[in-house]
Structure 1
């Protein structure tokens, strides 16, 4: 399917009702109040580089869904991708690993918008698991598509599946703004200040490589230190 035209598959709500759409950077996306509010929520809480990252992630996810004809809830996919990095935003930092802090914030947003509990749970799962693709890819389509879009923008996975002109349009509309270095800085800040939240997630890799004295603990230590005789 050619995402550069307005003839993309029409977005459909879970009820079967057709949703209004618009073309954004060559990709057809749902144009509803919920999606607009999610965009503004992300814009209000994310630094410019991070806002552009979540917008690109959404557009990549929507493009991949259209290309493959994957049935999904396009509004939930939008909320998942647009809010997937709230845990990196200053307003939502806390004692839990950043994906869970972000997932809790995204679910609170979803509930405030009137989404039912099933859709809210999809939002939570999509955000909490977005950095664990080995699990996320086997979840519901909204969750799996979300990590496809995020992974494409973050690590280039699936890069060749996006038409060259669409890729150029998306990056022109939402420039990367030193994404690699800025994201590294944000994750290293977590590894430096809250290492206990990083022992079992990808932030550990950044801490080990870039943060002097980083010591997050180990799951091996937990097993060997368990209060049993053997």
Structure 2
């Protein structure tokens, strides 16, 4: 190898080494804080994601996203092998912003008229990272891990099996909130987290958000796990003819689902 090539390679290594690494929970160069007794990353980007969520969403949803972040962080803190693999800053931002697609306000900056709420959140968060992340740290592949973790969190039977551990762990952390303590971190951590961010209002708030989505963009809910909310709560909602089954079996009669006698909180 030519001397000039060696010099260039060494310069590249030095420049990479100079960038603060935020992928390992044990890295002492990364700022941390403690929330509900759990050690969590505390970069300006994470603080900005927290501020955005707290300024725009209802308390029940703010508590939910904090719990998912803290459950994931408690799991990492309890597993040295996992701590060496997980991008803790990506996990924090993904958990904090994974449900911005639940926004029910008119002209919401977080939602579209035609996409699943998970995709809305994934797109918004990816753009948030491009605009607010430290330049040079947020590579396309790192952003894509966040995008896929958020986009797949509603289909965990796919997302949990991602070959990219950061994607799978984002999905796992988000799904830890349903329900109760998780065997991967201490019960004491769970009790502390729920004491600070109780589950109050989660069921009612979920019903309101999912019903709003089914009512305002039903095409984005057919053949998804939100479909039952449309059937139960939205007058005139009918997925028949829009499902994969219907497209594959055009000559089979499939009656519209019966609206269930349930109460919308």
State the TM-score, normalized to the length of structure 2. Answer: 0.74
Unpaired runs of 5+ residues, structure 2, are: 1-19, 251-265
Equivalence for 2:237: 214
Note the C-alpha offset of 1:191. 1.3
Deviation at 1:131, TM superposition (A): 0.8
Q: Is the 8 A contact 1:80 1:143 kept in 2?
A: no
Q: Does 2:57 align with 1:42?
A: no
Q: Which residue of 2 aligns with 1:151?
A: 175
- SS of equivalent residue, structure 2 residue 47: helix
After TM superposition, give the deviation of residue 161 of structure 1 in Å.
Answer: 3.9
* Equivalent in 203, 225, 233 of residue 180 of structure 1: 203
Match of 2:91 among 55, 77, 102: 77
Q: Would the aligned equivalents of 1:21 and 1:28 in 2 still touch at CA under 8 Å?
A: yes
* Cα drift, residue 53 of structure 1: 0.6
Correspondences of 1:1-230 after superposition (within 5 Å): 13-14=22-23, 18-69=29-80, 70=82, 71-89=85-103, 90=105, 91=108, 92-94=110-112, 95-114=114-133, 115-139=138-162, 140-153=164-177, 155-156=178-179, 159-216=182-239, 217-224=242-249
Cα deviation, residue 20, structure 1: 1.7
Q: Helix, strand or coil: the match of 1:184?
A: helix
Aligned residue-pair number: 214
SS at match of 1:159: coil
Structure 1 gap segments, 5+ residues each: 1-10, 226-230
CA contact (8 A) 2:181 2:187 kept: no
More helix by share: 1
Please say which structure displays the higher CA radius of gyration. Answer: 2
Does the 8 Å CA contact 2:181/2:190 hold for their aligned counterparts? no
Distance 2:72 2:231 in 1: 30
Shift of residue 24, structure 1, vs aligned partner? 1.0
2: CA distance, partners of 1:32 / 1:164: 27
CA distance in 2, matches of 1:203, 1:18: 42
SS at match of 2:86: coil
Q: Distance in 1 between matches of 2:229 and 2:152?
A: 18
Match of 1:7 in 2: none
1:12 Cα deviation (Å)? 5.5
User: Residues 33 and 131 (structure 1 numbering): CA distance in 2 closer, same or farther, change over 3 Å?
Assistant: same
SS in 1 for 2:78: helix
Task: Note the aligned Cα RMSD (angstroms).
Answer: 2.2
